[in-house]
Amino acid sequence: MQRQPVLSVRGLTKTFGPVRANDAVSFDVGAGELVCLFGENGAGKSTLSACLAGLHSPDGGEIVLNGEPVRFSTAADAIVAGIALVHQHFLLVDDFTVLENIVLGHERGLFVNYRAAEKKLRALCRRYGISVRPDARVGDLTVGERQWVELLKALYHEAAVLILDEPTATLDLQESRKLFRIIDELKTAGVALVLISHSLAEVMRSDRVVVLRQGRVVGERATSETTPQELTRLMIGREVERKHRGSSRPGRPCLDVEHVTIRRPGGAPILDDISFSVAEGEIFGLAGVAGNGQKPLMEAIAGVLPFSSGRVLIDGELLADLDVHGIQKLGVGHIPEDRLSEGLVGDFSIAENIALGSHRDVFADGHFLNRGAIRVAAAVAIADYQIAAPSAETRARALSGGNAQRVVLARELAAASRVLLANQPTRGLDVGVIEYIHDRLIEKRAAGCAVVLASSELEDLLNLSDRIGVMFQGRLMGIVDARSTSIEEIGLMMAGQKREAA
Amino acid sequence: MKLALLGAAALTSLGLLGGTALAEAPTELGIGMILATGPEADWDATLLRDVETVAKEAPHGLKIATKHVDGVEGEKAKDAMELLAKSGKYQVIWAHSSYSDQVKALKDKYPDVLFVVVGSGNEGLGGNVYYDYKRVHEPSYLLGVLAGRLTKSDTVGVVGQFPSEDVNDQINSFFAGAKSVNPDVKRKVAFIESWYDPAKAEQFTNAQISAGADLIFQLAGSFETCEKANIKCFGNYVDQGERAPASVVASSLISWEPDLKWVIDAWYDHAANGKPYEGNVKERWFSQAEGGSSLSGYHAYDDKIPAEVKTEVKALEDKINSKELVIPVDLAVPASD
Amino acid sequence: MIAFERRESAGWIAQAIAYLLAIAAGLLASVVLITITGADVADGLGALWQGAFGDAEAIGQSLAAAIPLVFTGLATVVAFRAGIWNIGQEGQVFAGAMAGYWMSLQLAGAPAIVAVPAVVLASVAGGAAVAALCAVLKTRFDVNEIISTMMLNYIIVYLLSYLLAGGPWIEAGSTAYHQTPLIADTFRLPELFGLHLGAPLALLATAAVALVIGRTPLGFELRGLGFNPVALRYKGVRVATTIVMAMAISGALSALAGVSEVFGINFRLRAEVLNGLGYTGIIVGMIGALNPWGTLVAALAFGAMANGALYMSVLTDVPSALVPAMQGILLLFVLGAAVLTRYRLRFGRKDGRHG
């Protein structure tokens, strides 16, 4: 890197309250270079890209563009300076056309020369082989097409630095290839590119990799001089304490998931042909970077999310035609990912939250609620699950995170006589509560329940699970035995490497 | 006139003294008025104006006190009337809209109170209930004559509220007047289907202007629209030329003075002479000759209207008043040509 | 920065004191107004009291004015508690009255024992259907219910206007007006203790709404829907069905207001006697803190205030234009108290934490 870098980040720091999302991050990108930012969810990649694109203002450090320090107060400033971000969560106006979205915020003077803009846009589409109609309403486009609009927006403004935040997450394989062809063309044209990805296949196509962990740069490697294994180690960055808990004696198969697929028009499938089976008395762990299909998979099994094809069976009984309530009555408990928005009604009391879902059968008496039964159930739950609250009438929103999760646990473990689906059950909780929840999950396994546990804590998965399935972009990359696998093996699969290839 | 009335009052009381020698001639009268809207509506404002005039004239030497209750309908109107009657201060209760359902429930409970129901949607109950009506078809006819003479496009329009019968009679007479002097006149009629909706009134007015109308009888009150389009128009009920001199040529006016005096006389006969109430079953309206309606002045248009037209209209007005010319009441729903 | 923060609960005594203070403040402001116009304050307030609760007759009139507001208030409670912003009470009142009137035409000559229940049922069905239509538009086509219910208000009110302005329902006769002929005796709601059937129905409706919301699975879902529809969906509640149910109940309640006004008091269908009942019901429900019994109290207070205002405008020299102004002032203070008992004002920076 003898030439002056186009973009140079020097000691960039960004904090949100007590959290240091970026801690003295430094790296360079040269013209025609593709640098990859690699790291787990929450490592600080997206915050970093938002700072570069003017969406956040950093608390410390500087951004140097072509040798000049720059400060952006808005995203428009960044675009004018020549930094464009292709955002992971689309920042598009649904009711505007593609063309309007692209010129939005960059009109000069009072009038927009739409004719000239459209001509330029059509030329771009031809040059890069992107087929999006400029006059299509963005709200009518598929997710995949929207991703192209985001990219076109950046290309239209002829950015010198292009940041791509997980651009392939919504694209199917063919379109991902097209994207990388475009990236190659842009490199040839001398654009400095930053790619945020946790897909190793994509990471390995970059020129250099900057590995982030907990907001810090923990390593920088020329891609040609490193291996996926080394990068995974850097990303995870710690030795896992292995203390596998209890030996399970799995019984006969209880939960069967067969070829479950959720398609999405014009984009990569949300779930792509998922098949696995969980036995009685088994904990099946689901590993994967957040957003790779764990949540839709859990919801598909629980009946919350309809799926396009495939089937789910419990004890050999097909779940087709059953709704959430019917599935629950078969003995399925579901601890959703977000306890406050999905698991609980914040303005309901503890007692009402305990009754929710069974209020038409267990807790109903003819046409009325059986308030006596609800009171008793709530009292039992508060005692059994050590919920710290003044009374069963306390509103759920007044509870601490741990106590709120205990309410969800009390309700769902009671429902889960056959299958328990636990999605991130310990997220954001303190150690004591985490221990408590783990104990409860193991109890459930001992009682013969088939448990599916998704967690972003690899350590927990390794210690609690009997087998672990690893998800990547809606696919199940492989299933491994928790006792014999290694964190590297799982890490590689999480980054999109098939087990056979590893 | 005042003297004459006083004299008449004196005579009747004298006559009474000669007879039964009981009731003293009353000196005070309270008139309570029940209004569906209030002073903001022309229908109600004209009543409030005229009751003050009549009170000042003091018929039969009466000291007249007035009270109005605004914006009451249905049960609330009944409660208000009953309060007025019970207070003992109001001997005449003037219900200025369709209130005969409510009056029917009260009339026998307060037999000495004279009730008046006014306008459409009422029934004649007789006894102590008088049924007053308002017809403006005579001055509407005169407005029509003006329109027939002044139109250059031979197209005149009307923007009305609803095709209800007390609107229809005005429109039909207006067109009859126009046709009588200009048989080529084409009629344009539109109803905004609301008693008050300036936006729709403007829209319909503009539609008529596009259809060629250069004179519009504005029952819906959209005078500014005429002004903007440089079109002349006519108003009704009150002298709209005072409010919109630039566009309004003339208006058909209503007056409640003869109506009020009719009722006051009936009450006085009852109170002073013990004459039983004889409320009318069929609606009673006062003609132009009797002062129930009239044609306004021309205001800003006084110099712009050809003298011969003014003379013609004046002559027709006199003919109507002398009953030489009778304008029929035509309630059919009017239609455009 | 000033932020509103929800209170856990202000307690009954605190709430009562807040409302009393609000009424006192509203009256004080009214006294100032009356004094400015030169009218007699004691006269004015005396008439207000006389009309509100002065004697048996005044109380009867206050109650009669309150009956339709109980229904539209309860309609607001049911919809708003479910988080559905139904502001179509006005149109649903009209729809109920119109459906009831239509039924009375179909059953001309039927004995009262058939006629009255048929009219009430038809009207309830009419109001429920109109409201449910908006619910289906919301659940199927994602049409915002504020817009659809508001628009439907206009459509229904204009439909009646058409039916009565030269349309098929207008009374015959040369001086016909915007009203139907008188409704036959057999269709009129029977009277009990000087009040029509609407009064016991209103009480019954209040108890029923309280029971449904507080004690039944449906009410449980309604309340949950108002707080967090996502969590309900995760627990298998059929959210779309619940929305339709809530709206249908709300529309049915509004329709009862239309029935009681047309078949209980006026015995003619005309727009003027229905105008504003729906919109006032929204305010009544809000002041009643979206609680059925609170709404009953608020409706009674509204009825008393309306009748007191009428007495004041008839019996005193207080200018008639001032009476609605005073009503508005009182309302504003009471609404202020209602907000303050449920939220506390916080000055300074907004804290990220809840609860």
> Residue type for C271, please?
A
For residue C108, give how far its alpha carbon lies from the nearest alpha carbon of chain B (Å): 21
For residue C235, give how far its alpha carbon lies from the nearest alpha carbon of chain A (Å): 5
Would you say B157 and B211 are in contact if contact means Cβ atoms under 8 Å apart?
yes
Report if residue A33 sits inside a domain.
Answer: yes
Residue C296: in which H helix or E strand, if any?
A: helix C292-315
Whether residue B173 sits in one domain with residue B85:
no
Domain around A277? 253-494
Report if residue A1 sits inside a domain.
Answer: no
Taking residues A382-394, report their average pLDDT. Answer: 91
Taking residues A470-480, report their average pLDDT. Answer: 92
Report if residue A501 sits inside a domain.
Answer: no
* Residue in chain C lying closest to A349 (CA): C224
Of B207, B197, B127, B139, which Cα lies nearest the Cα of B173? Answer: B139
pLDDT category of residue B96 using cuts at 50, 70 and 90: very high
Residues 91-110 of B with CB under 8 A from C: 98, 101
User: What CATH number did the domain enclosing A32 receive?
Assistant: 3.40.50.300
Taking residues C335-353, report their average pLDDT. Answer: 64
pLDDT of residue A491 exceeding 50: yes
For residue A29, the cross-strand partners are A7
Report if residue A247 sits inside a domain.
Answer: no
Of A213, A208, A199, A270, which Cα lies nearest the Cα of A7? Answer: A208
Residues of C in contact with A327 (CB under 8 A): 236
- Interchain proximity B101–C311, CB inside 8 Å: no
* Among A345, A411, A421, the residue to mutate for chain C (most C Cβ within 10 A): A345
Residues of A in contact with C233 (CB under 8 A): 304, 324
Would you say A296 and A264 are in contact if contact means Cβ atoms under 8 Å apart?
no
* C221 reaches A (C-beta below 8 A): yes
Residues 271-310 of C with CB under 8 A from A: none
- Interchain proximity C236–A342, CB inside 8 Å: no
Task: Evaluate the CA torsion angle C91, C94, C100, C103 in order and state its sign.
Answer: negative
**A342: its two tokens:** 């999905």
For residue A326, give how far its alpha carbon lies from the nearest alpha carbon of chain C (Å): 8
Whether residue B116 sits in one domain with residue B64:
yes
pLDDT of residue A110 exceeding 70: no
User: What CATH number did the domain enclosing B119 receive?
Assistant: 3.40.50.2300
- Interchain proximity A357–C236, CB inside 8 Å: yes
Beta strands A253-262 and A309-314: pairing type? antiparallel
- For residue A411, CA distances in Å to A357, A450, A461, B188 come to 9, 17, 23, 73
Of B79, B87, B166, the CB nearest to C61: B79
Would you say A101 and A153 are in contact if contact means Cβ atoms under 8 Å apart?
yes
Cα within 13 Å of Cα(C325), Cβ side: 12
**A255: its two tokens:** 């939960």
Report if residue A241 sits inside a domain.
Answer: no
Altogether, the residues listed in chain B come to a count of: 337
- Interchain proximity A342–C230, CB inside 8 Å: yes
Report if residue A500 sits inside a domain.
Answer: no
Whether residue B191 sits in one domain with residue B95:
no
Would you say A404 and A436 are in contact if contact means Cβ atoms under 8 Å apart?
no
Cα within 13 Å of Cα(A370), Cβ side: 16
Q: From chain C, which residues contact B within 8 Å (Cβ)? A: 61, 64-65, 158, 161-162, 165-166, 171, 173-179, 182, 261, 265-268, 272-273, 275, 306-307, 310-311, 313-315, 320-321, 324
Place of tokens 């003091």: B58
Report if residue B331 sits inside a domain.
Answer: no
- Interchain proximity B121–C171, CB inside 8 Å: yes
Residues of A in contact with C354 (CB under 8 A): 397
Whether residue A144 sits in one domain with residue A31:
yes
Report if residue B167 sits inside a domain.
Answer: yes
Residue that is last in its domain, among A176, A205, A236:
A236
pLDDT category of residue B19 using cuts at 50, 70 and 90: very low
- Interchain proximity B165–C165, CB inside 8 Å: no
Of B38, B71, B193, the CB nearest to C158: B193
Report if residue B105 sits inside a domain.
Answer: yes
- Interchain proximity B283–C267, CB inside 8 Å: no
Would you say B184 and B217 are in contact if contact means Cβ atoms under 8 Å apart?
no
Distance separating alpha carbons of residues B84 and B99, to the nearest angstrom: 15
Name which residue leads in pLDDT, B264 or C315: B264
Helices C239-261 & C56-81 angle (0-180, nearest 10): 160
* A323 reaches C (C-beta below 8 A): yes
pLDDT digits (tens, 9 = 90+) for A188-208: 989 999 998 877 888 888 999
Dihedral angle computed from the Cα positions of residues A10, A16, A18 and A23, in that order, rounded to the nearest 10 degrees: -20
Q: What is the domain count for chain A?
A: 2
Would you say A161 and A30 are in contact if contact means Cβ atoms under 8 Å apart?
no
For residue C257, give how far its alpha carbon lies from the nearest alpha carbon of chain A (Å): 27
Q: With an 8 Å CB cutoff and a minimum of 3 pairs, decide whether chains B and A touch.
A: no
Of C166, C314, C320, the CB nearest to B83: C314
Would you say C100 and C117 are in contact if contact means Cβ atoms under 8 Å apart?
no
Would you say A142 and A266 are in contact if contact means Cβ atoms under 8 Å apart?
yes
Whether residue B156 sits in one domain with residue B69:
no
Q: Is A283 left (phi over 0), alpha (psi -120 to 50) or beta?
A: beta
* A362 reaches C (C-beta below 8 A): no
Report if residue A245 sits inside a domain.
Answer: no
What pLDDT does C5 receive? 62
Whether residue A286 sits in one domain with residue A140:
no
For residue A87, give how far its alpha carbon lies from the nearest alpha carbon of chain C (Å): 26
Per-residue b or e along A153-175, where b marks 16 or more CB atoms closer than 10 Å to that residue's CB: bbbbbebbbbbbbbbbbbbbeeb
For residue A25, the cross-strand partners are A12
Distance separating alpha carbons of residues A297 and A452, to the nearest angstrom: 10
How many B-C residue pairs are in contact by the CB < 8 A criterion? 89
Would you say A171 and A150 are in contact if contact means Cβ atoms under 8 Å apart?
no
* Residue in chain C lying closest to B82 (CA): C314
Residue A178: in which H helix or E strand, if any?
A: helix A173-188
> Residue type for A407, please?
V
Residues of C in contact with A342 (CB under 8 A): 230-231, 234
Which residues make Cβ contacts (< 8 Å) with residue A173, sequence separation at least 6? A268
Of B177, B176, B221, which Cα lies nearest the Cα of B200? Answer: B221
Cα angle at C67 between C65 and C68, to 5 degrees?
Answer: 90
Distance separating alpha carbons of residues C168 and C160, to the nearest angstrom: 10
For residue C104, give how far its alpha carbon lies from the nearest alpha carbon of chain A (Å): 33
Whether residue B266 sits in one domain with residue B206:
no
Whether residue A27 sits in one domain with residue A55:
yes
**A194: its two tokens:** 């930053």
- Interchain proximity C272–B73, CB inside 8 Å: yes
**DSSP 8-class letter at C168:** T
Distance separating alpha carbons of residues A457 and A21, to the nearest angstrom: 19
- Interchain proximity B165–C174, CB inside 8 Å: yes
Residues of A in contact with C236 (CB under 8 A): 303, 323-328, 357
> Residue type for C107, please?
L
Distance separating alpha carbons of residues A256 and A267, to the nearest angstrom: 27
Residue C80 has φ and ψ, to the nearest 5°, of -70, -35
Would you say A83 and A54 are in contact if contact means Cβ atoms under 8 Å apart?
yes
* C232 reaches A (C-beta below 8 A): yes
What pLDDT does B2 receive? 45
Q: What is the domain count for chain B?
A: 2
The DSSP code sequence of A27-54 is: EEE-TT-EEEEE--TTSSHHHHHHHHTT
Sheet bearing B129-133, strands edge to edge:
B63-69, B28-34, B92-95, B114-118, B129-133, B284-285
Whether residue B261 sits in one domain with residue B174:
no
pLDDT of residue C206 exceeding 60: yes
**A137: its two tokens:** 């309403």
* B36 reaches C (C-beta below 8 A): yes
Whether residue B262 sits in one domain with residue B242:
no
Residue that is last in its domain, among A209, A236, A263:
A236
Domain around B168? 137-254+290-321
Whether residue B176 sits in one domain with residue B145:
yes
Whether residue A187 sits in one domain with residue A323:
no
Would you say C230 and B64 are in contact if contact means Cβ atoms under 8 Å apart?
no
- Interchain proximity A325–C236, CB inside 8 Å: yes
* Among C67, C157, C169, C177, the residue to mutate for chain B (most B Cβ within 10 A): C177
**B160: its two tokens:** 């009305």
pLDDT, averaged across chain B = 90
Would you say C310 and C332 are in contact if contact means Cβ atoms under 8 Å apart?
no
The DSSP code sequence of A479-491 is: EEETTT--HHHHH
Distance separating alpha carbons of residues C207 and C229, to the nearest angstrom: 26
Task: Provide the 3-class DSSP secondary structure of residue B160.
Answer: strand
How many A-C residue pairs are in contact by the CB < 8 A criterion? 74
Whether residue A469 sits in one domain with residue A362:
yes
**DSSP 8-class letter at C266:** I
Of A415, A429, A374, A356, which Cα lies nearest the Cα of C234? Answer: A356
- For residue B91, CA distances in Å to A467, B31, B33, B54, B133 come to 97, 6, 11, 16, 20
Cβ neighbours around A415 below 10 Å, total: 21
- Interchain proximity C227–A334, CB inside 8 Å: no
Distance separating alpha carbons of residues A488 and A231, to the nearest angstrom: 10
Q: Touching A: which chains, 3+ CB pairs < 8 A?
A: C
**A486: its two tokens:** 């290694």
* Residue in chain C lying closest to A300 (CA): C234
Distance separating alpha carbons of residues B236 and B253, to the nearest angstrom: 6
Residue C52 has φ and ψ, to the nearest 5°, of -75, -55
pLDDT category of residue A240 using cuts at 50, 70 and 90: low
Distance separating alpha carbons of residues C75 and C120, to the nearest angstrom: 16
Whether residue A306 sits in one domain with residue A444:
yes
Task: Evaluate the CA torsion angle A206, A209, A211, A215 in order and state its sign.
Answer: negative
- For residue B157, CA distances in Å to A128, B182, B200, B231, B233 come to 64, 14, 15, 11, 9
What pLDDT does B11 receive? 45
- For residue C196, CA distances in Å to C36, C62, C67, C191, C266 come to 41, 13, 10, 4, 11
pLDDT digits (tens, 9 = 90+) for A425-457: 988 787 778 889 999 999 999 999 999 999 988
Distance separating alpha carbons of residues A344 and B85, to the nearest angstrom: 62
Residue C6 has φ and ψ, to the nearest 5°, of -70, 140
Lowest mean pLDDT among A492-496, B86-90, C165-169: C165-169
What pLDDT does A500 receive? 55
Q: For chain B, what is the total number of helices (H) and then of strands (E)?
A: 10, 12
pLDDT digits (tens, 9 = 90+) for C290-331: 999 999 999 999 899 889 989 988 888 887 778 778 878 888
**DSSP 8-class letter at A135:** T
pTM for the whole thing?
0.80
Of C165, C272, C324, the CB nearest to B162: C165
What pLDDT does C6 receive? 62
What pLDDT does B8 receive? 47
Whether residue B165 sits in one domain with residue B249:
yes
Whether residue B109 sits in one domain with residue B187:
no
Lowest mean pLDDT among A213-217, A266-270, A357-361, C123-127: A266-270
Cα angle at B278 between B272 and B282, to 5 degrees?
Answer: 145
Q: With an 8 Å CB cutoff and a minimum of 3 pairs, decide whether chains A and C touch.
A: yes
Whether residue A278 sits in one domain with residue A185:
no
Report if residue B279 sits inside a domain.
Answer: no
Q: Touching C: which chains, 3+ CB pairs < 8 A?
A: A, B
* A333 reaches C (C-beta below 8 A): no
* B185 reaches C (C-beta below 8 A): no
Q: Kindly state the percentage of chain A with pLDDT values over 90.
A: 44
Taking residues A7-28, report their average pLDDT. Answer: 88
pLDDT of residue B7 exceeding 50: no
What pLDDT does A104 receive? 76
pLDDT of residue B229 exceeding 60: yes
**DSSP 8-class letter at B332:** S
